[in-house]
């Protein structure tokens, strides 16, 4: 299983861009060699949401804090204090992204942005797909030739522009 057995850790040069909780959470995750999949299943949340929480991009409920304290072996009070506030989102990495994996997601928006808009407008009218009333997940598929495929699903509430 070689490479795949690795777990994601926090790049040290990212630490200054992220809230203090990110270092705490990632350090504990590394120390216990936990994958996001296992944390997510214990927490009852999606893997992407958990990873987002680790990067300071999603909020932890008091319940999450309690469970994370157990899962990660970090004192609840420390977690509670560092996760006390409201997430200050959007500063994890530079935009346009320089990381190749993230850049390709950006490129999809760059290349297909207007196509999505045209299709969504025709299907729903004038409005947007919310990125707040929103959930997302990542799945792995393997085709018959043994190739792996990543499938990312974005699901957002449709918000029509208010007429005023």
Instruction: List the interface residues with a copy of itself, window 110-129 (CB under 8 A).
Output: 110-129
Say if CB 160 and CB 126 are below 8 A apart.
yes
Rule CB under 8 A: say whether 28 interacts with a copy of itself.
Answer: no
Question: Among 47, 65, 68, 79, which residue sits at the site for a copy of itself (rule: CB under 8 A)?
Answer: 47
**Spatial separation of the C-alpha atoms in residues 80 and 75, rounded to whole Å:** 9
What minimum distance in Å lies between the beta carbon of 69 and a copy of itself? 17
Rule CB under 8 A: say whether 75 interacts with a copy of itself.
Answer: no
Say if CB 40 and CB 46 are below 8 A apart.
yes
Catalytic (active site) residue 69 = no
**Torsion angles phi and psi, residue 131, rounded to 5:** -100, 10
What minimum distance in Å lies between the beta carbon of 76 and a copy of itself? 16
**Spatial separation of the C-alpha atoms in residues 103 and 123, rounded to whole Å:** 28
Catalytic (active site) residue 130 = yes
Rule CB under 8 A: say whether 3 interacts with a copy of itself.
Answer: yes
Exposed / middle / buried, residue 144 (Cβ in 10 Å: 0-12, 13-18, 19+):
exposed
- Which structure tokens are listed for 36? 């996001």
Rule CB under 8 A: say whether 144 interacts with a copy of itself.
Answer: no
What minimum distance in Å lies between the beta carbon of 70 and a copy of itself? 19
Q: Is the dihedral of CA 75, 77, 81, 87 positive or negative?
A: positive
Question: Among 42, 76, 78, 136, which residue sits at the site for a copy of itself (rule: CB under 8 A)?
Answer: 136
Question: Among 32, 70, 75, 138, which residue sits at the site for a copy of itself (rule: CB under 8 A)?
Answer: 138
Positions marked catalytic: 104, 107, 130
């Amino acid at each position: 299983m070689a490479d795949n057995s690795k777990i994601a850790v926090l790049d040290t040069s990212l630490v200054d861009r992220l809230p203090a909780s990110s270092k705490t959470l990632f350090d504990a995750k590394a120390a216990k060699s936990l994958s996001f999949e296992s944390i997510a299943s214990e927490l009852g949340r999606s893997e992407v949401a958990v990873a987002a929480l680790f990067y300071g991009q999603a909020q932890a409920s008091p319940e999450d804090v309690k469970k994370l304290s157990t899962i990660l072996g970090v004192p609840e009070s420390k977690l509670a204090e560092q996760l006390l506030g409201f997430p200050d989102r959007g500063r994890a990495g530079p935009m346009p992204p320089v990381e190749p994996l993230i850049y390709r997601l950006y490129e999809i928006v760059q290349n297909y942005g207007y196509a999505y808009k045209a299709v969504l407008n025709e299907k729903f009218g004038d409005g947007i797909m919310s990125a707040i009333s929103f959930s997302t997940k990542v799945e792995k598929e393997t085709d018959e030739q043994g190739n792996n495929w990543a499938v990312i699903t974005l699901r957002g509430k449709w918000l029509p522009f208010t007429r005023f």
